[in-house]
Amino acid sequence: MFYQKTKNIQVTAKLAEDIIGELISEPAKNISPATVIKSVAEAFEISIGDLISQSRKRELVGPRQIAMFLLRDILDLSYPNIGEKMGKRDHTTALYAFEKITQEIAKNQTLNQKVLSIKELITKQ
């Protein structure tokens, strides 16, 4: 439905298969956690240091949670591994971030678009 509204075209069964195929394609082998973290930092115009810092500033928490979400979504990293890569955080922080962003993108169209655009940038590299 989102695709139909934004592209203003009728979604056929074939088009739906193509869209789903793109979404569930295997992650690219050349994508590293560093690539994901760097891409999120660039998308939000913050430094990698700020992104993985212990700071709880609002302008850093959202991007950090998105980075954790994408590390899990694209690379299927374990929560402990994500926590380690994102500033030696506990695995429960990564789990919370993944669940929170999953819920938010279902409700917030703007956030969904932002996450999709970052994901597209990462997978096209």
Q: What is the pLDDT of residues 58-103, one digit of tens each?
A: 999 999 999 999 999 999 999 999 999 999 999 999 999 999 999 9
Can you tell me which residue has the tokens 């279902």? Answer: 106
- Grade residue 29 by pLDDT with cuts at 50, 70 and 90: low
**Residue 78 covered by a domain:** yes
For residues 21 and 57, the model is more confident at 57
CATH number of the structural domain spanning residue 89? 1.10.1750.10
Q: What is the SS3 assignment for 54? A: coil
pLDDT digits (tens, 9 = 90+) for 93-125: 999 999 999 999 999 999 999 999 999 889 886
Phi, psi of 123, deg, nearest 5: -75, -20
The domain of 82 spans: 29-124
Q: Which amino acid is at 71?
A: L
Q: How far apart are CA 115 and CA 110, in angstroms?
A: 9
Cα–Cα distance for residue pair 91/102, rounded to 1 Å: 17
Burial class (CB in 10 A: 0-12, 13-18, 19+), 121: middle
* pLDDT at residue 12, rounded to an integer: 79
Residue 6 is assigned to a structural domain of this protein: no
